[in-house]
Amino acid sequence: MPEGHAELEARLGTWLAELGSAEHALNLLETAEGLLGATGAAGVPPDVWHRYLNETRRPEFLQALPDPTTRERWAETAFSAIQESRFDLEALFEQRVREHPERTLFQEMDGRESRLWSYQNILRRLRTIAALFWSAQPKSPRVAIVSENSLDSACCDLACLTFDILVTPLNPHFNPETLAWVFDQLEINLVVVETEEIRDRLDATRPLTKGPFHIFVLDPDADTPGSSESRLGEAMARLGRAQVDEILGARIRRQLTDLATVMFTSGSTGKPKGVQYTLYSLISKRFARAAALPKVGRDELLFCFLPLYHTFGRYLEMMGMVFWGGTYVFSGNPSFETLLAGLQETRPTGLISIPRRWQQIKERCLAEMDASQERSSREEAFRKVVGDRLRWGLSAAGALEPAAFHFFQRHGVELCSGFGMTEATGGITMTPPGEYEDNSVGVPLPGLEARLSDEGELQISGHYVARYLGDPPPAPGDGYWLPTGDIFRKRESGHYEIVDRIKDIYKNSKGQTVAPGAIEQKLAHVPGITRSFLVGDGRDYNVLLIVPDLEDPVLGGGTDSEQTAEYFQQVVSTANQGLAPYERVVNFAVLERDFERDRGELTPKGSFQRKTIEENFRDTIEVLYERDYVELEVTRLRVRIPRWFFRDLGILEPEIVAHADGLLNRRAQRFLSFDRGLDPTAVQIGDLEYQIEGDLVDLGQFARQPLLWLANPSLIAFCPCKEGWDLPLSRVSPQVFIPWRQEGDYTPGVTVTPTAIRDTALIEVNRLCTLALFAPTPKALEAVKGLESLLRETSLRLSRAIHRRLEALARHPNLELRALAYKIFLLVGPVPDYSQELPSFLLSGLPFLSEESIEAIATGKIERFRLDALRRRLQRYRKQLTWPAPASLRDQMDGIFALLETFVHHHPTFYPQVRAELVAWVLHQADPELSRRARGHLDRMVEWFEEYLEQTTPDNEPEQWEGKIVFQDRLSADEIRTLEKALVGTTFLKQSIMLAFEDRGVDVAEIPPNGIWIAQVFSILENRVYRMSVNTRGGKHYDLLLGTASDREEATVLETTYWMLALGGRADSPPVVRQFGCYRPELGAFSMALVNDLTVWE
C-alpha cells in the first residue's frame, strides 16, 4: 500500500481528471478521513493538505457528495487538515493569487464608475501594510481600526489577520470613553482612522488611555499635525519591496489557536462585550459555510453594505469572497437607492442583507412586475430589479415574513434564513438551500453542536464558537458550551425556531444591536423619573416610555404642564448625547401608571418583561410610531421631517419647531429659513433657491441628496447630511439658484463642513462651491478655477454636481465670474440633458459673455459632442422661451452668436454645424430683430470662411484645371461656360465637398485627368441641375448635385438654401433633406450631396 500522502495525491489526481464523479469524490473523502483518523496524517506534507483543502472546497466537489451529512463529514476533514497543516490566511491568499492573480477581489463603486483591485495587487498591498505596522511596533503591533467600510480599512484588517497582528475593527460611533476602555483592554498601540473627524475624536481619547498610540489616517488629504500621526498612503510609499520582505520574514509568528482578533458587541449594560477569535475559528468557519452552501463558489460577486466591524460583513462577505475566490464590491453607502442601483450595475450572484432590505426589494419587484401581464415579461421585470445573475441570498439579523422567502425562491433566488451571533463567528443556523420552512432559522451549520437547556435556551459548542475577552482562548473540542440568550423550539425536521429572548438586547430594522438596559440606565437616577423603558425592536428608530415620579418636586407642575414636558425633553436629549445614532431616542411618552408585577410586566426581581410591557402599552407605543415623519407648516409650505433626521441629530421631535419664516432647532439654536416668492415653484431654503412642485418640502430628501445640500451652508448646518447620490429627486429639480443680490451684499449666516460625509472629494467640492457662490469676488474666482481643475479629474456624479453650482452663478452680480462659469460650463466636464429645465444663464437677464471670455471659449479645445449639446440647448430655447425676447435676452443671444462666429475662426472644421445653427436663428421670425442679428453674424462668418479657403487652397490657378473636367455631350456652350465659371480657379468644389460630406475637401492637384464628370439631371425655367461625379488620385469618390441660378432669383435661392441648411443640419436628429454644400451667389451656383437613398423630404 502506498504511503498516505501518495494515496491522497493519487485520489486528488483521479478526482481532478473526472470532475463531478460522485464515486471519486467519496473515495477522496474516505481517504482523507482514514489518514486524519490514523497516525498517517502526520506523514502528509502540509502542501498536500493545502491542495486537498483548495480542491475540495469547490462547488464541483461539494455537489458531488450525496447529502448534507456527507458534506458535514467533509467539513470535519477540513477542520482537521487545517490544524494538521497550519493552513492560515497567508496560505489561502497565496492559493488564490497563484490560481487567478488578475481576478478582481475588491471593487470600489463611485456612482456609476468603479475601480478594480486584483488578488495580486491586494496581496501586495496587504504585505506592505503589515510591514508598516511591524516596523512601527516591532515587538507587538496591536491595531484598532475605527472606520466605516472602505478599501483601505478592509486591507488594514486583512493585513493584520494574514500577517500575525492583533486587530480589532471598531464601530466609528464609539465615544472617546468607550474607545479608551477598548484601547486599554487590548493594549492598542496603533490606530487606523478613516477621517479627520474620527482623528479629532481620538484627540479626546488620548488623555483617557493608559498607553500611547500612533494614528494612521486613511484620508490622503488629512492634516497630520503631530509626530504621533501619519497618513497611511505616504507611510506605505516609503517601504520598498525588499524592505517589506525583510520585515515580514523577521516577524513573530502566531499559532492557529492564538488570539488573532477581537470584535465588540453591545453589552446589555454599560461597556461593549469583547469577543475573541483565533485564526483557526476564522478559517474553519469558512469551510463550514462552504459545506452549508455547496452551490456557492463559481464566479461569485457580492454587493456589500454590511459594516466590516460586524461579523456578517467582515467574515461572510469579505473573508467569504477571499475564500470562494470571488469579488467583494463596496457599495459606498448603505441606502436602499444605492442597493437598487448596485444590483443592476454590478450584477451580484449573491446578497447578504437584513430583512428590511429584502422586503423593500420584494416590494420594488412587485411594483415592476404588476405592470407586466405575461409570465416571461414578469420574470424580466423581476430581473430588472435584482440583476440577471442573483441566485442566492441570506436574510439575517431579524425576522422576515415567510412570503418574502417564497417569493424570491419562486423566481430563482435561493433565499435562506439564518440566526447568528458575534460569539459564533457569525452564523449559527441556516435553512439549507431548497429546504426552507416558514418561521424557521434552519439547522446548525457544520462544525457546530446545538442543544436546548431545560428553559429552552439554545446553547452551542464547536470549532468556531468564541469566548469573551479575558477568557482563555477556546481549544477545539474542549467541551465549552455558550448560552445564546435566546429561547428556541426544535422541530421534528431538525429546524430551529426562535420563541423568545432572554438577553436584554434587540436588533432594529437595520440589524443593528441595541442594548436597551444600557440606555435606560442613563436615566435610572434622574430626578422626576421612576423608570424608563426603551422600545425599538425591529423598528427604524427608538422611542421611550417614561414612568414619572410624581412625588419629586421637580415635577411640581404635574405631568401635563409645558414645564414638565420641557424638562423631560432636556433629560432625554442629554441622554442621547454620547449614544450612537441608532441607539438614540426620537420621541417619548409619559405614562399614567408604573409597570406592575401583577400584570406580568415585571419579574420577581423587578426586571422588565419586555414583550408584556410592549403588549400592554401597545396603543401608547403605536401613537409614537404612527408616522415615520413630522410635518410642520412654514410660509405656506408643508415641511416634512423624517424621524431618522431627529435620531441622527440626537434631538427629540419637539426640539424642531416652526419659527418666524423657517425652522428652529431649539437645542442647537440653529435656524433654517424658507422663503416662497411670487413664482409658485421657487422656494429659497437656507442660502439657495430651488424649483419645487407643489407645497411639500421633504427635508429628508434635501439632507440625503448631495445635489440638493451641496454649497448651502445654512442647510448643511441644520441637517444631518448624507451621501445619498442614488436617491431619486421627487418634486424638486436639481437646478439651483443663488439669491438675487448686489455685489457683496449676501453672506451665509453660517459656514460649516458636513461632518458625517466620508468622501473627501465631496467635502472639497462643497468647500469650493460655497466659496464660488458666496465669497468676495477675488476668492470666488479662485474657487471657480479650482472647480475647473477638479472637473477634469473627478467622478461623473461630482462633475454633475459642480456643473449645477456653476449654473447657479448665472445670477452672480459679477460679470467676470459669470463669464468664467459659463466658459467652464461649456468646455469642461459632463454634458447633462437640460431638456426639462430652464436656461439659467439666459433667464438671469445678465450678460455672461465678454470679449475676453468669447475669445477664451473659442480658442479652447472643444469636442464635437459639446458643440452639439450647445446646439440642442439653443434649439430648445427657440421652442421654450417667449418671443420676441426682451432686450436683455436678445443681447445675451447676440453674445452667443458672436461666440459661435469667433469659434469658427479658431476651429474651421466646425463651420457646417455653426452655419446650420446661425441659419436656424435667421429663420426664427418669431423675433425679427434677433433674426436680423443672426443674419449679420452669418454673413460675416461666410465671408470669412470663403477668404479662409482662398488662402489655404494651393495651386488653384485656371491652368491647373485643364483636362480635369469632362462635360456631357448634350450640354450647350453657355452651360459649359457657366459651370466653368463656378469651378475653375475657385474654391467652390472644395467648399462643396467639405460641407456636403463633412470632409476636408479636395484640391485640384488631387484630381486626375478627366476626374470630374458633369451631366444635366433636370432644368426648371432658368435653373438647371447637374450631377457632378468627382474621383481623386487617392481613390475617393464624391457625387454632388450642382445647380445654377440667375441673379434675378438670388433671394429665392438664398431662402431655399437657408431651409435646406436648417433641415439638413439639425443637432438633435438625422437630416431630413440632402446634406447641403454651399451657395455662391457671385458664381451663380449651389451644391448638395447626391445620395441614392431618399431623404424624408423627398
pLDDT band at 876 (very low <50, low <70, confident <90, very high): confident
Dihedral of the CA atoms 915, 917, 920, 921 (nearest 10)? -100
Task: Judge whether residue 153 has pLDDT over 50.
Answer: yes
pLDDT band at 7 (very low <50, low <70, confident <90, very high): confident
Q: Is residue 111 classed as helix, strand or coil in its secondary structure? A: coil
Edge-to-edge order in the sheet of strand 301-304: 113-118, 104-110, 327-330, 301-304, 350-353, 392-395, 414-421, 426-430, 443-444
Least confident of 471-485, 665-679, 720-734: 471-485
pLDDT band at 937 (very low <50, low <70, confident <90, very high): very high
Least confident of 317-321, 556-560, 762-766, 1046-1050: 556-560
Cα angle 549-608-489, degrees, rounded to a multiple of 5: 165
pLDDT at position 726: 87
More confident residue, 880 or 416: 416
Cα separations in angstroms, 1066 against 422, 897, 916, 1061: 64, 17, 7, 9
pLDDT band at 935 (very low <50, low <70, confident <90, very high): very high
pLDDT band at 834 (very low <50, low <70, confident <90, very high): low
**Rounded mean pLDDT, 378-398:** 92
**Rounded mean pLDDT, 259-279:** 84
CB-based contacts of 1034, cutoff 8 Å, min separation 6: 1006
More confident residue, 35 or 125: 125
Least confident of 282-296, 496-510, 628-642: 496-510
- Residue whose cell numbers read 500611547: 212
pLDDT at position 758: 84
Q: What is the distance of C-alpha 101 from the center of its chain?
A: 27
pLDDT at position 446: 96
Q: What distance in Å separates the CA atoms of residue 585 and residue 567, rounded to the nearest whole number?
A: 15
pLDDT band at 335 (very low <50, low <70, confident <90, very high): confident
pLDDT at position 39: 58
pLDDT at position 745: 64
pLDDT band at 1096 (very low <50, low <70, confident <90, very high): very low
At residue 1042, what are phi and psi to the nearest 5 degrees? Answer: -115, 125
pLDDT band at 1022 (very low <50, low <70, confident <90, very high): low
Determine which helix (DSSP H) or strand (DSSP E) holds 426, and give its type and residue range. Answer: strand 426-430
Q: What distance in Å separates the CA atoms of residue 740 and residue 743, rounded to the nearest whole number?
A: 10
User: Model-level pTM?
Assistant: 0.81
pLDDT at position 900: 92
Task: Judge whether residue 477 has pLDDT over 70.
Answer: no
Task: Judge whether residue 5 has pLDDT over 60.
Answer: yes
**Rounded mean pLDDT, 109-117:** 78
pLDDT band at 1094 (very low <50, low <70, confident <90, very high): very low
Residue length, the chain? Answer: 1098
pLDDT band at 251 (very low <50, low <70, confident <90, very high): very high
Q: Give 490's strand partners.
A: 496
Cα angle 492-494-497, degrees, rounded to a multiple of 5: 90
pLDDT at position 778: 92
pLDDT at position 940: 94
Out of 503-507, 881-885, 1006-1010, the most confident range is 1006-1010
- Cβ proximity of 1078 and 1087 under 8 Å: yes
Cell numbers placing 289 = 459555510
**Rounded mean pLDDT, 808-834:** 84
pLDDT band at 478 (very low <50, low <70, confident <90, very high): low
pLDDT band at 78 (very low <50, low <70, confident <90, very high): very high
pLDDT at position 24: 92
**Rounded mean pLDDT, 1059-1085:** 80
pLDDT band at 865 (very low <50, low <70, confident <90, very high): confident
More confident residue, 1092 or 27: 27
Q: What distance in Å separates the CA atoms of residue 898 and residue 919, rounded to the nearest whole number?
A: 14
Task: Judge whether residue 82 has pLDDT over 60.
Answer: yes
pLDDT band at 1095 (very low <50, low <70, confident <90, very high): very low
**Rounded mean pLDDT, 933-949:** 93
- If you average pLDDT over every residue of the chain, what do you get? 88
**Rounded mean pLDDT, 818-832:** 83
**Rounded mean pLDDT, 922-942:** 93
pLDDT at position 1: 39
Least confident of 159-163, 181-185, 218-222, 486-490: 218-222
Give all domains of the chain, ordered by start, each with its CATH number.
4-87 (no CATH), 119-254 (3.40.50.980), 506-624 (3.30.300.30), 953-1089 (no CATH)
Q: What distance in Å separates the CA atoms of residue 139 and residue 124, rounded to the nearest whole number?
A: 23
pLDDT at position 762: 92
**Rounded mean pLDDT, 185-191:** 95
Task: For 24-72, write each residue's pLDDT tens digit.
Answer: 999 999 999 988 886 556 678 999 999 999 999 999 999 999 999 999 9
pLDDT at position 1098: 36
CB-based contacts of 350, cutoff 8 Å, min separation 6: 296, 300, 301, 302, 390, 391, 392, 393, 394
Least confident of 147-156, 442-451, 553-562: 553-562
